[in-house]
Structure 1
Amino acid sequence: MSKEKVVLAYSGGLDTSIIIPWLKENYDFEIIACCVNVGQEDDMTEVKKKAMLAGASKIYTEDVTDNFVDEFVFDALKANAVYEGKYLLGTAIARPIIAKTLVEVAHKEGAKYIAHGCTGKGNDQVRIETVIASIDPTIQIIAPWRIWDIKSREDAIQYAEERNIPLTVTREKIYSRDQNLLHISHEGGHVEDPKNQPNMKELLMMTKTLQEAKDEPEIVEIEFFKGKPIKVNGKEMSGKEILSTLNKIGGDHGVGVIDLLENRMVGMKSRGVYETPGGTILWYAHSELERLVLEKDVQHYKAQIANKYAELVYNGMWYSGLKMAFDGFIDKTQETVSGKVKVQLYKGNILSAGMESPYAIYNDEISSFGFSELFDHHDAEGFIKLVSLPFKIKAHCLGKEYLDKTFKSKEA
């Protein structure tokens, strides 16, 4: 009788490297490793070799980078989704397509179980399992970090050493990193304590430090069509090529590094350093173009939705009804978000350097302080009277005593 199969979300990092032997020691499963390539810079030949040596019977290396950029990164870009004002959601955006691919492999292999290496304190366990439940609620989850006796990354290293599992992390450089084409995150080690200044020279992998960044500014032009970038410096590219190109350019100028003390969805705070060079350029340029083409109420209301959208993505609700309803609204707003945006990059900074669009709703003749046939300065008098009318009524009704009390200068 053949064994039951489990599909393991495999990266070759510390957690997933020890999960294979742990599964073999605790379950009678055939282990199918699945490494989903979303643009991380791993040698897939080495990843395959490592998984097989650890005891997997088979490994899939599924390259979904194009779909990741076109269908996930660019959806978040169109929404201007930024979590807590800083984080461009690099890890959170990747988890849905990773989980979706795991389900596809499970179906192909006839596996009833999916295992992952997400910790019980983190957000990724929710992101992965919510997507799996959305696609196939019959699949059962095995989450070793919620079961085993391993309590820390130091324990995990010891477990690996006892079983002669090769590792790239050490007790001295114990950072937990997550990389895809949009970003790389750095957590753990000295980064965890908010009072410590991160050693950027030691941490950064995609981006140069400000000291090492180019000494001359550079102007980059990005062209958008209906909210999606289609060209860089006049050259038409795929989404994957655009993000790769801007990662290199932005990385050379030290753009897109943030130090964030964030609120995890499970209720605790955690601190991480994130590198998102190309994404930061795209988010900035896209937001600037929207200022040129969206009418005031649409722009303002979309900004409110962007905050909630980012929260939904962060919390793993990619396939929720609310998030998908927001997608419909956002796609409608993007119908006129086409045009070219120039940005200047220098020592971690991004500055606007000009933009144009056939849908621009800015007219310098109207907006200038000079004469315009569409606007007469005298019209402002009636407008101001109407706007201020409620305040006049309130003042008249409440009387002088109330006004004196309300607007009396505070004593020192």
Structure 2
Amino acid sequence: MAEKKYNKIVLAYSGGLDTSVLIPWLKEHYGAEIIAVSADVGQGAELDGLEEKAKKTGASKLYILDLKKEFAEEYIVPTIKAGGEYEKYLLGTSFARPIIAKRIVEIAKKEGADAIAHGCTGKGNDQVRFELAIKHFAPAMDVIAPWRFWELDSREKEIEYAEAHNIPLKISKETNYSKDKNLWHLSHEGLDLEDPANEAPINKEGFLELGVSPENAPDKATYVEIHFEKGVPTAADGKEMDALSLIEYLNGIGGANGIGILDIVENRLVGMKSRGVYETPGGTILYAAHSKLEEITLDKETSHFKAIAAQKFGELVYNGQWYTPLRKALSAFVDSTQETVTGDVKLKLYKGNIIPASVTSPYSLYSSGMATFDEDDCYNQADSAGFINLYGLPLKVRALNDAELAAKTGKHFPDVE
């Protein structure tokens, strides 16, 4: 077991199962003062009573950091502008970890701690996200990750330990989904979800928390209109809002209409596949609106290359590489593409579906005069013949060459009929 002793350990504390048992466990095995740090990134009622709980289980103090505004503006918005996603997952947990880890390091330095502890499992992605950020801001800091070596190697054993140490829990062995909630999303893993053969119980009462299933959504469509300034959402339904307020507003509308429920088997960074169900109602609306606006404001080459950059951006965020030079460089590229991404997008929400209704922008590259099937005076259709001749020249040369070779050799060439 643990041999090294520490004076102070700062613990990334959520009050959930893993971190609840960590406070007494760390005190038992390291003999250190435990300072708990909780980050408010929009998990709401989960923070209720946290200070009392942390101190009762052995922490000397608890910091609760309100990071919602910074999280929305400095992490979520740049990812929306980039269009970053990972295998259709909109990165809810992924981009929350870097800001939490950054602020935990600040507390650790302030308190003179000689180690930081977290409750991430050795199978998950979060251990990487936390520790890469810690390495960036405090490269010499020791990190304690008990899930890699402790005896409580299952959630059932953790619950038994908690019960033996009188640690109050809001879950039981029967309702023990592993969840992560913030202002952007809610994730569900574990229990029956571990078998992809099982249908996700999205219609089961109490499973979904941010909205309803598409089947239970209203029979009448809801319209929502979003305004963007240089790729940043700044208003919804005619009302100006900051990023935090806008996300919360769209979460309400999206959740009520069954928007943003994703059931996927994803490829974890550590090499295994994992099944999760995600609720991202407001985020799904924002991604759809932003993408629609880019359709008319970005030129073809920029749009296509940005899609490549978006995939890499999503991978970097998912893999915990927020603070890397490449992510920063990609954000600089993205910002340059967003100079003209200003305008309004109206979407129709109906039973889990997002249907575009209208899009307008002062920077629109769409010309009805150019695109019309009716008569126009701005496009000479005869010009297309010369374009096709030049565009198809390599194909024509290859075909003529294949035919000549076939005539000389008597051999069949696949491209020659």
Which of 156, 161, 167 is the aligned partner of 1:159? 161
Aligned to 1:54: 57
Percent identity reads: 50
**Distance in 2 between residues matched to 1:70 and 1:16, nearest whole Å:** 28
- Aligned-partner Cα distance in 2 for 1:8–1:406: 66
Q: Which residue pairs with 2:41 in the alignment?
A: 38
Q: CA deviation at 1:304?
A: 0.6
305-314 or 154-163: which moved more? 154-163
Q: Secondary structure at the match of 2:357?
A: strand
2:306 corresponds in structure 1 to 302
C-alpha contact 2:177 2:189 (8 A) present in aligned 1: yes
User: Is the contact between residue 207 and residue 257 of structure 1 (CA under 8 Å) also seen in structure 2?
Assistant: no
Residue 368 of structure 2 corresponds to 364
Aligned-pair distance for 1:201?
A: 2.7
1:316 is displaced (CA, Å) by: 0.3
> What's the CA shift string for 1:109-145, capped at 9, x where partnerless?
1112110000000000000000111111121101010
Unaligned runs of 5+ residues in structure 1 are none
Q: Aligned partners of 1:30, 1:204: CA distance in 2, in Å?
A: 38
Residue aligning to 1:75: 78
| SS of structure 1 residue aligned to 2:397 | helix
Pick aligned residue for 2:111 from 109, 128, 133: 109
Of 63, 86, 105, 2:66 maps to 63
Q: Which of the numbers 310, 332, 345 marks the counterpart of 2:349?
A: 345
Cross-structure match for 2:184: 182
1:6 alignment partner, one of 5, 9, 14: 9
Q: Please list every run of 5 or more consecutive structure 2 residues that lacks an aligned counterpart in the other structure.
A: 1-5
Cα distance in structure 1, aligned partners of 2:212 and 2:416: 54
In structure 1, how many angstroms separate the alpha carbons of the residues matched to 2:330 and 2:70?
20
Task: Tell me the alpha carbon deviations over residues 32-91 of structure 1, each in whole angstroms, 9 at most, x when there is no partner.
Answer: 00000000023534111111111000000001000000110001100001111x100000
Structure 2 equivalent of residue 327 of structure 1: 331
Match of 1:91 among 76, 90, 93: 93
Query: Which residue is equivalent to 1:170?
Result: 172
What TM-score comes out, normalization by structure 2 length?
0.95
State the distance in 2 between where 1:304 and 1:71 align: 22
In the aligned structure 1, how far is the partner of 2:343 from the partner of 2:304? 20
Verify the 8 A CA contact 1:40 1:179 in the aligned structure 2.
Answer: yes
Contact 2:399 2:416 in 1 (8 A): no
Cα distance per residue 1:192-250 (max 9 Å; x no partner)? 11111111133211020122211210110000001110000000011111000000000
Whole-angstrom distance in 2 between the partners of 1:213 and 1:47: 34
Pairwise CA RMSD: 1.6
Which secondary structure state, in structure 1, belongs to the residue aligned with residue 116 of structure 2?
A: strand
Equivalent position of 1:22 in the other structure: 25
Do 2:369 and 2:378's aligned partners in 1 also have CA atoms closer than 8 Å?
A: no
| Counterpart-to-counterpart distance in 2, 1:58 and 1:349 | 46
SS of aligned partner of 2:80: helix
Alpha-carbon deviation of 1:5? 1.2
Count of equivalent residues:
407
